[in-house]
Structure 1
Amino acid sequence: MSVSYQTRIEGAKKALEDAEYVLLGGGAGLSAAAGITYSGKRFTDNFGPFIEKYGFTDLYTSSFYPFKTEEEKWAYWAKHISLNRYEIDATKLYMDLFQLVKDKNYFVISTNVESQFTKAGFPPDKVFEIQGDYNFLQCETGCHDKLYYNESLVKEMIDKTVDCKIPSNLVQKCPVCGGNMDVNLRKNQYFVQDEKWYESDKLYKNFLQESKGKKIVYMELGVGFNTPGIIRYPFEQMTYHNDHATLVRLNKEHPEGFEENEEKTVAFTEDMQDVVTFLMQ
């Protein structure tokens, strides 16, 4: 272990020990570090027929594929949802994060959609999944704000998929407008924010207000630049405006941040699981 790494670990540990509040921000890199990868062997092992038929290369780009029929679309999405939400238990990294902060006054904002935080023990009222949730379907055009839990439907779709298609009778239609259904993911202007979403948004804003100017650690986990305005830039700005704040950034590819926050930032490019393990000691 290098002196530099040791110094950073000790600095982050002390900041966490002294903190009155901790705000966790989870991005795609966090789930990838936990083993929920969207490419490589995990992808090829589970999507062989789709790779052969459509030439898919990874789960991220394939989620934007313009399927010609609803039967094809839902054969793919049923497997995508199942693999990332229903076929995987809480991962060690997420469970360790819970152990790290459970005795603190904390909150979580995450752009991830596979419910790993709540699976790992975080209470739902402490987690804001701002970009949606694999558990639910919504009207494709957002004609109403109700979400529909999909676990049993997803399993049936997978069981009855043939040649990368589901039977037509399993294609869901919106019970209000009769149009198509979609996954509850923020990808266009039709994303449905239901009552629970607004309640989570309120709890998050209350936490920000309550912790303003206090000793706080903003712990940014695997957040890149796809949607930097949700976690990355706000964490930087809040750190800048709070003399008692520390920004702890765990990011292999993008550890850089605002120059103005350099002295208040502890950044790690090392393996995320290793860093969290050391912080727990």
Structure 2
Amino acid sequence: MDINRQLIEDKIRDAQYVLVGIGEEFAVKEDGGRTKEKVLQAYKNLSGLLDDKSYFIVTLLTDDLIFGTDLKASQIVAPCGSDMSGNVVTNEHYDESCYLPQWQNYLKWLQNTLNRKLCILELGVGFQYPSVIRWPFEKTGYLNKKADFIRVHSKFPQMSEELKDKGISVGENPVDFLLENLSTGSY
């Protein structure tokens, strides 16, 4: 395990709260080698990592795979919708009110993290909907002086100037990152 991986392990283990953002790089992409089985295993590894933590997950994915895992549905909000319900942000008649009650739960949870040891873990969040995860997570990381920020993205792992001293950038696909590090029980 290299220094970044050990440091990441320590940051997550030491946190009181973990805020997770899941973006488009976490989606199943058969031609990219991210099979459904690999994505489900990555979710399983993430679940093991978060097992004893107070966490909340904001996901941009609409494939609903996350809801078939050991991750607590009560700790997940999917503001872009659900393929299963047919209510997806890209549809003409998208009904935003479907996710708003869970979004309020997320905001209440987030209030409790202020001035607490918070680890923000972004997994594959790019610029598809930056106002949902990327920019608000950066703001949260900046405002919380006890926060650590970990960004895992194959193309856009860069940190903002305000977060560079408390952030870790990992230039990898997040599914591969979780499979490589967690399937061996290294966390």
TM-score (norm 2): 0.88
SS in 2 for 1:219: strand
Q: Deviations over 1:248-276 (max 9, x none)?
A: 11101001121121011111113434532
The alpha-carbon distance between structure 1 residues 26 and 41, as it changes in their structure 2 partners (threshold 3 A), is: closer
- CA distance in 2: counterparts of 1:118 and 1:219, whole angstroms: 19
Q: 2:163 aligns with which of 243, 251, 261?
A: 261
Alignment of 1:200-219 (within 5 A): 200-219=102-121
Show the counterpart of 1:21.
17
Contact 1:213 1:242 (8 Å CA) reproduced:
yes
Question: 1:7 and 2:3 equivalent?
Answer: yes
Show the counterpart of 1:131.
80
SS in 1 for 2:150: strand
Question: 1:187 and 2:90 equivalent?
Answer: yes
Q: 1:93 aligns with which of 42, 46, 49?
A: 42
1:247 deviation in Å? 0.7
AA aligned to 1:97 is L
Contact 2:151 2:167 (8 Å CA) reproduced:
yes
SS in 1 for 2:154: coil
The alpha-carbon distance between structure 1 residues 252 and 116, as it changes in their structure 2 partners (threshold 3 A), is: same
- CA distance in 1: counterparts of 2:92 and 2:143, whole angstroms: 32
Alignment of 1:210-249 (within 5 A): 210-249=112-151
Question: 1:104 and 2:7 equivalent?
Answer: no
Determine which structure has more spread, i.e. the larger CA radius of gyration: 1
1:192 deviation in Å? 0.8
Contact 1:216 1:246 (8 Å CA) reproduced:
yes
Show the counterpart of 1:37.
29
AA aligned to 1:278 is N
SS in 2 for 1:246: strand
User: Any stretches of 5+ residues in structure 1 without a counterpart?
Assistant: 43-83, 137-182
Q: Deviations over 1:79-136 (max 9, x none)?
A: xxxxx9xxx5671111111111121000110010111222121121111011000111
Contact 1:12 1:248 (8 Å CA) reproduced:
yes
SS in 1 for 2:165: helix
Structural RMSD (CA): 2.3
The total of aligned residue pairs comes to: 182
Contact 2:124 2:173 (8 Å CA) reproduced:
no
The alpha-carbon distance between structure 1 residues 111 and 272, as it changes in their structure 2 partners (threshold 3 A), is: closer
Question: Identity rate of aligned residues, in percent?
Answer: 26
User: Any stretches of 5+ residues in structure 2 without a counterpart?
Assistant: none
